[in-house]
Structure formats: C-alpha cells, structure tokens
Structure 1
Amino acid sequence: MSSADEVPAAGGGSSNNINYRGQLVLFPLPFQGHINPMLQLANILHAKAGFKNITIIHTDLNSPNQSNYPQFTFKSISDGLSDESCSLINLDTSNSVINFLNKSCIDPFKACLCKLLAQVVEDDEPPVACLISDALWHFTQSVADSLNLPRIVLRTSSMSCIPAYATFVLGQQSYLKTSSLKQELSLMTEKDRQSIIYKGDSEEGNKELIASMIQETKAASGIILNTFKELEEAACLALTQDFRIPIFPIGPFHKYFPASSSSLLEQDRGSISWLDLQPISSVVYVSFGSIAQVSEAEFSDMAWGLASSNQRFLWVVRPGSVCGSEWLESLPKGFMEEVGERGCIVKWAPQQQVLAHKATGAFWTHSGWNSTLESICEGVPMICSPCSYDQPINARYVTDVWRIGVMLDNWRMNRREIGRAIKRVFDMDNDEGIEMRQRSKSLQHKVNLSLQRGGTAYRSLENLVDHICNLSF
C-alpha cells in the first residue's frame, strides 16, 4: 500500500491529516510469531490509520526493543516466569507456558491497565477506545469486561485454523455444514489431525487453551486477522456466520511497509550478499522459525538431503535448534566440502528480504503462518515440514487447497525424500513444477490487488478504523 493509498479516516477525511482522539492499548503474546504481527498492526494503525496514542503492554519475557518504536509508549508487567523457566521454553512447553501466563498475568495486567485508564482521566487525555490483545490472551476478555473496555482480538494464525481446531480438536461439527469449508477440511489427513495437538504438552491443557481462545474471541467486539479474504474465502464466510462479530482480514500486515522486522534474534545481512551472487530462482531457502527443534539425526538427514538435491541453498540454523548442539557441531563430516560454495549457513536471516530476492526459488519451511504468508506474498512455492499446532493445517492448505507447495512431514524426514521434494519444486521440465509456480505468482497478484485502493484488505482496514472510532461513543 503506497502513500497514495492511505486509508481514509472515519468521516471521509485523510488519515494523514487527523489525530484520532481515541487511544489504543495493545497486548502481544510474548513469542516471535505473535510479537511481530502485533507490532506490525500497531504500525498500521499509527501510520496508515491515524491513531497517534498507542500503548504496548508487554511481559518481561521476550520484551520488544523499545528503541525501535519511539512512536509508541511501552508498559512492562511481571509474568511470573523464572529465568530458568524462560530458558527452557521450546515447542514441547510453549502451550503449557501460555496456559501458565493466562493465570499469572491476570493481576499484573489488570493493575497496569487500571493505572493507565486512571492516568488518562487524571491528565484529561483522550479516552482509551479499546484493547487489542492476542487471541491466546483469553483472560483479557474478562478483564476488559470488568473495566467496561471494548476488546478486539488479534488472531495471528490463518482464518482456516479456527474451523480446523473446532472440528478436529474440540469435536464440533458446525463448520462442516458449509460445503466449501467441509471440502477443504476433508483434505486433512489423520496424521494432520494427530499433529495439531502436540504431544510434548498436556493434551487436555491444549484443548482447554483452544476452547478458551475460541470462546473468548466470540465474546469480543471484533477480530483482526493477518490474512486477506481471497486466500480464505470459505473460512471467512463460516466465521462471519458463526462468530457474529465484525471480522477484519486486513493482512498481510508486513506488506503495508518496506521490509522491516521486530526479530528477537540478530539477523545476518551477509545472507543477502550471498544471494546477490546466485542465479535467478536457483536457491532453496531453509528456515524452521524461532522455536522448532530437530534431533541430531534429523539435522544430518537435512544436510545430506540438501546435498543430494544439487540445489543451491541458504540454510538458517538457529543456535540451540539442534538438540544437543550449540550450533553446527552436528553437521556430518564431509558435508561442507561436498556442497562447497553452493551452500550458505547462517544463524538467522532477514526473511522478508530473502523471500523477495530474485535468487530465491523455493522455501523449505515449518509452515508457521507468518512464514507461509510471507512466501505467498513473494510468489515463492514451499516445501512444508509441519510439526504441530497450526502448522499441519497451514501446510495442508499450501499443498492441497492452494497447491503451491509439496509436503515433507516429520514422518518422512530422510535424505532421499528431502532431495526428491526439492527437485519436484525446482523441476521446470514437468507440469507440476511449472503449474506450482504459476499458482504461486497468481496468489501474489491477488495479495497486491487486495491491498490497493478498493481491494478487500484496504476496505477491511477502512471498516476497522470506523469500528474502533464508533466504540468510543
């Protein structure tokens, strides 16, 4: 969205020329995949929609770098986690941690919010129009209700995840009444369904978290989604009918601004310099996000799979992501000698820039929603290795609904299958590879249209601005 496509202010003015009287309070969940979209949303509401008074309440865990956001006010609250507990957070424990935080943060969050509301009255400042909190902060609905403050939910996963969770985790059948959505959900395999509930956490705890998230989202004043209508039309229709609250698919968030990041990890810019030297669409970019871990055996198979594909690769190996290793100690002997200069390994990369780079031809991903959406936005086909939670759902949509990728799940993480999957995506001598890239480019075009003036995401942002302003009265 260019400066010429600014969202008109409520009442018809230009959002650049108005300072909305209502203040906003945002509360991100303290994980990379949730912090990024919440801060991107804050930037959208500030720069594109004219909300100048925005406060970010955050936990001590993974607190954002405030110096990167001088336009916002930050308030920190205690989360009750010890330093030792923070150091042990991984895919096995993440949902247990979220359940813990939904209890330990109730009093600190309410105290912080009450103090902020009192300060607004004391200083005769514009009132707080609403609270925008992550959907997984389900306790915030009761706090907002007790303070007579409207709450809008930010859901950082796809729209399609909610029907899938309700159907396969909670055993509800209501979403199967929508024929197009029923057809999409029928593509989920038994392994997909089993993977949604990650066995590292308590299964009952996971179900409780999902049920509370859905229930308290329905009680909110609206829901913001980091997606666009054309990508998930069946889910959009189903949620509109079921939730009976305003739904605002205004994404992809990161496309509103030049590439930027609120990454908690330091990015290696050398990866871009390396890509500059590679041929067009020749590189497979490999990154499994900020929390996933692999065993030493899986890591070795990944290495030899990349080697056997004979494809150039940029591989993000996050320190600590290989069980039992600090970084690259588990690389098999002879690997670096075999791949030579056609491989580049970094600790972390500026992902948006990597995916937008002309040399990037495919993305081998864990299928987190941010990564999936960023790949769609650049027209880059995917190789999907989902683990749990929303990842199997995202991956199934990539491979079987949108048909812009191939599946390489954890049951087939061996060097032969890895090499074969990479070759399938890059093979331009058969219809599958060609059509996959054509569909990827088609979705990229739809993204751009949705963000232009009059597009669905553009209009959703207009509607969101009006909705927030009306909550103040």
Structure 2
Amino acid sequence: MTSEERSANPAPHILIIPIPLQGHVNSMFNLAEILCLSGLHVTILLSDYTHHRLLRHASFDSRFSSYTSFRVATISDGLPDDHPRSGSRVVDIVQSLGEVGGPQFRRLMVSSDAMSDGGARPRVSCLIMDGMLSFPIPVAEEMGIPFMYFPTISACGLWPYFCVQEVIDSGELLFKGKNEDKLTFWKSKEMDLMVTSVPGMEKILRRRDLPSFFRVEDANDVVLQSIIEQSKRTRQAVGLIINTFEDLEGPILDQIGKHNANQNPYSIGPLHTHLKELQKAKGMESSHHSSSFWKEDDSCIAWLDSQPPDSVIYVSFGSVATLTRDELMEFWYALVNSGKKFLWVVRADSIVGGGIGNEIPVELEEGTKLRGLMVEWAPQELVLRHKSVGAFFTHSGWNSTIESIVIGVPMLCWPYFADQMVNSRFVSEVWKIGLDVKDSCDRLLIESMVREVMEVKRDEFLEKARGMANMANKAICEGGSSHVNLNRLIQFFKSTA
C-alpha cells in the first residue's frame, strides 16, 4: 500500500493502557490479541517493572511474534523496584501513576507523533484505559483522540462504583470508627444489613458485599473520593468495554447503560475463550501462552495427572492477596482436616512478614504429603481444565471467576478486596455456583465449606455451573451476544481511524 493509499484508508491504531497488575494485564493482552486478529494496529503501554517481569517469566514475545501490527511501549510507574506491589500497597501503583504518568505519557506521544513513529504506522486513533486511570486524558483530549474505559472487572463489580455517591447519600455506607479494630468492624451485624441504593441489586447486596474501598472511616477518604471522581470521568468516554456476557450479567449491563446514557456497554467476554474462538476461525493453533509475572510451576500438572477425577480442590488467592501467618494456618488446617486432596498456590510474597517459616506442625506436614501439593505459581487455566479438579477455592478476582464459569467448576469464595466482595456474593446468591465465606477465616467453618462444595452440594453446583458454561460458549459463537458486540466495537474503531 502506498503512503497515499494509507492516508486515504488509515487503519485503526488502538493504544491500550492497563493498570500494571497481573489480572489487569492478562485481560488487556487478551483484548490486544483479539484486536490484532481483527486487523487493527495495537500498542500496549506497560510499566517498566511489568515489562521486565513478563520478559523474565512469561511467553510474552512468542505470543505476539506473529502480529506485525503489535508493539509495546513502556513508562515508569514511579515506584522503586523493591516496592511490594501486593496487598494493601497495590493502591500505591495507581496513585503513583497519577503523579508521574502524565508528563511521561505526553513526552511519549509527542516524540512518537502519537505512536506513528514518523509515519511508519497510523497515529493512535483511540485509547483504551483501565478503570482507575486518568493521567492520559489531558493529552488525548489535546490530540483529539477519543478514549474508552475497560475496567477488566465484572459488570456487577463495576456497578456499585458508579453508585457510590447514592450509597453515601442514603446513609447505607457503614463508617469504621478511628480506633475500631478492622476485624471487629467487618464481623459486626450491621454489615449484614441490605443495601437498597444500588439499582438492580436491592435484594442482593449486604453492606459487607460492597467493594472493600467502601470500608472507610469517613466519606472524605482519599481513595473513596477518587472513585467518585473516576466514576464521573467515565461518562466522558466514548464507550465502555466489559469482559462479560449478556446471559450472565444482562440486568446489570442494562443498569450501566442507563447510567452512562451516551454509551452502550460492549460486553465481549469471556475474552480468553473469545480469543480462542477467533483463532480457531482463522485456522490458528490455540496454545497456552503465559502472561505471568511469576514463573509457573508445571510440575503441578503431573501431580494432577496422578489424582482421581474431580478429587482435588484447587486453591489460589491470586496475584495480590496477602495472608497473615495465622490466616495461613487456619486455611492449612481446614484443607488438611477436610480430608480432600488439594493443590494450593502460595506466592513467595503472599505471607505478611516473610514466608511460611520452618515451624510447621507435624500434622500439617504429614497431611500435605498424603493429600496435598503447594506451589508458588501455577498455569491456572490448565489447572482448572484438568479432569482431577473438582472445585476452586478462590479470592473471586474476575479473571479467576470467569475462567471457572467458562469451564463449569464450582467455587468456594474468600474475597480479599475491591470488586471481589461483589463477585463472591453473585457466585453464591445469584448464579448459585458456589459458596461465599467472606470476612471469616475460621478453620472449622472453612473445613465444613470445603466438604460442602466438594461433596454435599457438588451435584447442585455442577448443574448450575455447566449451564453457565454453555451460555458462555454460545455468547462467543457466530450470532452470540459477545460476538455481535465485538463486531460492533471493531466497526466503531474503524470509524475513528
């Protein structure tokens, strides 16, 4: 194509900016690859730290090597390399990017002529940003580049954020006293009062099911106020992309559509299976590509191969959650005492104050040797699809939840923070494909619930879960809601070029 033809028919060039956390980057990579398969140019902006971790531990280069239209750009997240970037400290990443990201982004866009690199590729025609990011907006507006938001969470997890001011005004936000112990506050009976100020969720959410960022001392909390500002900013966007499908979250998608009157949410999920379907349609081989910040321990697959069908509960609390040693011990005793086989992911940085330690009770060591395996990180999608896995003990992050839904694996939910509180409630009370054990870490309770999800209610959960899995697969096939919405999204991008 000549330069004159390129100018007459410019291809869309999409710039994607994820929050530099494992789950967010995974979703954005799936979207990036889908857009590449759809004939678009794609640039993804990563933090230097994230890029380094991916090059070290993931099959990042090989995954995108066949897409000449894909490239990576990087900026600093402003944090030192030894910052933990986990637990409650993940908020530091967004706050730091808000401070240092704007000037870096401006320099990058100006020096590269909006990522065109002197005409070697089209200029960026649309920006896709993660849910809590706003630093690119001033530059995008100056350059006349429209922007979209892709929050990478569920519709049900997103909707309460849009309603936060209404929750405050209704008096339904329960404020923690300055000197009140967090655990005491979370276990109080007041947390079980229903929330009526989130339309469509009046008979679903209790106060304890609201996002964890709502658990504050007063309405002037910095993070809470930033959520309010961000929800207002979302209305400036030309669209909203959500990794879900209409049969799963249709009523909540309708509520979001009414709230953002100028936007029709593009529900195009489940992204990871939608990507596989597109690859299949183009005759491409779909293989497992790691996008992990940690080295995956493949030995767990061989261990699973040696276990009976549906006998193992897979335990993983994701890439951010941290446990105290007391919490670790409660979970460990619960798993061992349940008598069930278990595969447990325990990240090296997931125990507050250091690792597991050397003083491990004999009964736990012996019980784990008999029925368990503990690894630092696992290829999760391969694990969940394994025939020996009968249930998923999860932190209810959205990637983990929707991966479990697609495969039809029942869940036991122990949410850690943010939207996970909402997801776990929907798993248990709306979709009825698992149990919710939030705000408790008692070995006897968890032992009982492990047995319940693996034995007592297993058939009931399996029937529901398999029904959900069928709906998820229909959504991404020709004529399905997510397939139609993706085509609509691609057409919009072409109109911006």
Q: TM-score range by the shorter chain?
A: 0.7 to 0.9
Looking at structure 1, the residues matched to 374 and 241 of structure 2 have their Cα atoms a distance apart, in angstroms, of: 36
Instruction: Give the aligned partner of residue 184 of structure 2.
Output: none
Q: How does 1:27-426 map to 2 (within 5 A)?
A: 27-47=17-37, 49-51=38-40, 53-63=41-51, 64-65=54-55, 67-68=61-62, 69-70=64-65, 71=67, 72-84=70-82, 87-117=83-113, 120=116, 122-123=118-119, 125-168=121-164, 171=167, 182-193=199-210, 195-197=212-214, 204-243=221-260, 244-255=262-273, 256-257=275-276, 258=286, 259-327=288-356, 329=358, 331-410=360-439, 412-426=440-454
The AA in structure 2 aligned to 1:56 is I
Question: What SS does the aligned partner of 2:409 have?
Answer: coil
Instruction: Give the aligned partner of residue 281 of structure 2.
Output: none
Segment drifting more, 95-104 vs 62-71:
62-71
Cα deviation, residue 272, structure 1: 0.8
Cα deviation, residue 100, structure 1: 2.4
Cα deviation, residue 168, structure 1: 4.7
The AA in structure 1 aligned to 2:459 is I
Cα deviation, residue 97, structure 1: 2.9
The AA in structure 2 aligned to 1:136 is M
CA contact (8 A) 1:25 1:130 kept: yes
Instruction: Give the aligned partner of residue 15 of structure 2.
Output: 25
Question: TM-score under structure 1 normalisation?
Answer: 0.87
Cα deviation, residue 125, structure 1: 3.7
Cα deviation, residue 451, structure 1: 0.7
CA contact (8 A) 1:196 1:392 kept: no
CA contact (8 A) 2:164 2:228 kept: no
The AA in structure 1 aligned to 2:233 is E
The AA in structure 2 aligned to 1:302 is F
Looking at structure 1, the residues matched to 217 and 17 of structure 2 have their Cα atoms a distance apart, in angstroms, of: 27
Looking at structure 2, the residues matched to 187 and 366 of structure 1 have their Cα atoms a distance apart, in angstroms, of: 19
Cα deviation, residue 20, structure 1: 7.2
The AA in structure 2 aligned to 1:131 is L
Looking at structure 2, the residues matched to 108 and 131 of structure 1 have their Cα atoms a distance apart, in angstroms, of: 16
Segment drifting more, 194-203 vs 292-301:
194-203
CA contact (8 A) 1:299 1:330 kept: no
Looking at structure 2, the residues matched to 141 and 413 of structure 1 have their Cα atoms a distance apart, in angstroms, of: 41
Instruction: Give the aligned partner of residue 463 of structure 2.
Output: 438
Cα deviation, residue 180, structure 1: 13
Looking at structure 2, the residues matched to 77 and 465 of structure 1 have their Cα atoms a distance apart, in angstroms, of: 27
Looking at structure 2, the residues matched to 75 and 194 of structure 1 have their Cα atoms a distance apart, in angstroms, of: 32
From the superposition, tell whether residues 118 and 231 of structure 1 become closer, same or farther in structure 2 (CA, over 3 Å).
Answer: closer
Question: What SS does the aligned partner of 2:154 have?
Answer: coil
Looking at structure 1, the residues matched to 218 and 104 of structure 2 have their Cα atoms a distance apart, in angstroms, of: 26
Cα deviation, residue 201, structure 1: 13
The AA in structure 2 aligned to 1:215 is K
Segment drifting more, 156-165 vs 367-376:
156-165
Q: Percent identity?
A: 31
Cα deviation, residue 424, structure 1: 0.6
User: Matched residue pairs, number?
Assistant: 443
Looking at structure 2, the residues matched to 434 and 189 of structure 1 have their Cα atoms a distance apart, in angstroms, of: 27
Unpaired runs of 5+ residues, structure 2, are 1-8, 173-195, 277-285
Superposed CA offset, 1:102-150 (max 9, x none): 1210110121122233562832643322111212112322321121001
Looking at structure 1, the residues matched to 316 and 460 of structure 2 have their Cα atoms a distance apart, in angstroms, of: 24
Segment drifting more, 208-217 vs 28-37:
208-217
From the superposition, tell whether residues 165 and 454 of structure 1 become closer, same or farther in structure 2 (CA, over 3 Å).
Answer: same
